[in-house]
């Protein structure tokens, strides 16, 4: 393969990724957002969570996309809240967009199946069923608890200091390192820590090409200087190849 062909093929793979999004935050239009999300069960694995840990906790999912984490966490007596720039749209519009995006994404994934690990879903059909379950539960939960789905544009969040016990952030930071610069990453992580009492977990720690986030050591240094305990923790979840680690950030305990 010539260098040009190799680079075209890399571009093609990038453009067919499941989480391919526009980052055009100005003039945001619904058609530029991919409204897709993971299930509660996927979140539990990617964040090494047990249902016991959820009980009684206020948990922020940021950005929540079309995830079913909140809808199911509520059943385990957690108090979840989801935030995403997409939530400024009507629920009916998001529902239509969510199902369209699943159809479109599954077609796009067909030629690049080899860059994923299929142990969990088995096939594109299996993946489609899970993504459909996620958006269906998410939309039903939005209709029941619309005030728990808050529209906001990161790196700003409309919440008070330490409002949540735990904050989870999946498939956004590090994933879009090709378009969100290091300042955006640092500001967003600081904002997530501001609204969280104790702990922030971010999954995965790699970018879209499966490489560890290239500013990870610098980010860890900044966080450790502020007294946080930061670790890269292996998880039992891997769909994008090499995306099997989360970043766990524990804030300093001020009463110690
Ligand atoms: C790939 S989805 C991830 C959703 C979910 N966390 C998951 O793991 O499936 C990325 C989400 O980030 C949202 N998003 C992108 N840029 C954002 C920003 N600056 N502020 C808030 N949300 C943003 C998009 O609307 C989209 O729903």
* Digitized pLDDT (tens) for each residue of the chain, 256 residues in all: 344 434 444 444 454 567 766 544 433 567 778 999 999 999 999 999 999 999 999 999 999 999 999 999 999 999 999 999 999 999 999 999 999 999 999 999 999 898 899 999 999 999 999 999 999 999 999 999 999 999 999 999 999 999 999 999 999 999 999 999 999 999 999 999 999 999 999 999 999 999 999 999 999 999 999 999 999 999 999 999 999 999 999 999 865 4
Task: Evaluate whether residue 239 is within a structural domain.
Answer: yes
Determine the Cα–Cα distance for residues 99 and 31; give it in Å rounded to an integer.
13
Q: What residues are in contact with ligand 1 under a 6 Å CB criterion? A: 19, 21, 25, 33, 37-38, 63-65, 67, 84-86, 153-154, 170-172
From residue 150, alpha-carbon distances to 114, 145, 185 in Å are 36, 11, 21
Task: Evaluate whether residue 151 is within a structural domain.
Answer: yes
Task: Evaluate whether residue 5 is within a structural domain.
Answer: no
Which residue's CA is minimally distant from atom 25 of ligand 1?
86
Mean residue pLDDT across the chain: 91
Domain that holds residue 191: 10-250
Distance 64 CA to ligand 1 centre (A): 6
Tokens 């003039």 found at: 27
Ligand 1 atom having least distance to the Cα of 134: 9
CB 64 within 8 A of CB 150: no
Distance 54 CA to ligand 1 centre (A): 22
pLDDT at 33: 84
Residue 242: CB partners within 8 Å, gap ≥ 6? 206, 210, 211
Total domains in the fold of the chain: 1
- CATH number at 135 reads 3.40.50.150
Distance 158 CA to ligand 1 centre (A): 16
Residue of 65, 167, 240 to mutate, ligand 1, most atoms within 8 A of C-beta? 65
CB 149 within 8 A of CB 69: no
Ligand 1 atom having least distance to the Cα of 61: 6
Task: Evaluate whether residue 210 is within a structural domain.
Answer: yes
pLDDT at 20: 67
pLDDT at 254: 67
Which residue's CA is minimally distant from atom 9 of ligand 1?
37
Question: For residue 147, how many other CB atoms are within 10 A of its CB?
Answer: 7
Task: Evaluate whether residue 2 is within a structural domain.
Answer: no
Determine the Cα–Cα distance for residues 239 and 120; give it in Å rounded to an integer.
8
pLDDT at 31: 78
Distance 211 CA to ligand 1 centre (A): 20
pLDDT at 123: 95
Task: Evaluate whether residue 4 is within a structural domain.
Answer: no
Distance 200 CA to ligand 1 centre (A): 16
Which residue's CA is minimally distant from atom 27 of ligand 1?
65
- Two tokens, residue 233: 């923790």
Residue 233: CB partners within 8 Å, gap ≥ 6? 48, 245, 246, 247, 248
Task: Evaluate whether residue 256 is within a structural domain.
Answer: no
Distance 63 CA to ligand 1 centre (A): 5
Task: Evaluate whether residue 201 is within a structural domain.
Answer: yes
Query: What tens digit of pLDDT does each residue of 121-132 get?
Result: 999 999 999 999
Of 58, 63, 56, nearest to 163 by C-alpha is 58
């Amino acid at each position: 393969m010539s260098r040009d062909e190799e680079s075209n093929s890399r571009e093609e793979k990038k453009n067919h990724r499941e989480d391919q999004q526009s980052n055009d935050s100005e003039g945001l239009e619904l058609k530029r957002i991919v409204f897709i999300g993971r299930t509660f069960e996927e979140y539990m694995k990617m964040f090494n969570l047990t249902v016991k840990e959820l009980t009684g906790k206020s948990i922020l999912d940021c950005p929540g996309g079309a995830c079913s984490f909140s809808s199911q966490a509520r059943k385990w007596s957690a108090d979840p809240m989801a935030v995403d720039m997409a939530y400024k749209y009507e629920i009916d519009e998001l529902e239509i967009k969510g199902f369209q995006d699943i159809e479109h994404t599954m077609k796009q994934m067909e030629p690049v199946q080899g860059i994923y690990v299929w142990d969990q879903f088995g096939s594109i059909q299996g993946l489609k069923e899970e993504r459909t379950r996620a958006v269906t539960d998410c939309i039903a939960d939005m209709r029941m608890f619309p005030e728990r789905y808050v529209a906001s544009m990161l790196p700003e969040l409309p919440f008070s200091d330490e409002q949540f016990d735990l904050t989870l952030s999946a498939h956004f930071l590090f994933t879009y390192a090709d378009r969100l610069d290091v300042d955006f990453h640092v500001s967003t992580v600081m904002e997530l820590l501001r609204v969280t009492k104790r702990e922030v977990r971010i999954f995965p720690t790699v970018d879209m090409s499966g490489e560890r986030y290239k500013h990870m050591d610098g980010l860890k240094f900044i966080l450790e200087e502020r007294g946080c305990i930061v670790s890269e923790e292996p998880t039992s979840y891997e769909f994008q190849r090499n995306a099997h680690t989360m970043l766990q950030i524990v804030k300093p305990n001020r009463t110690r």
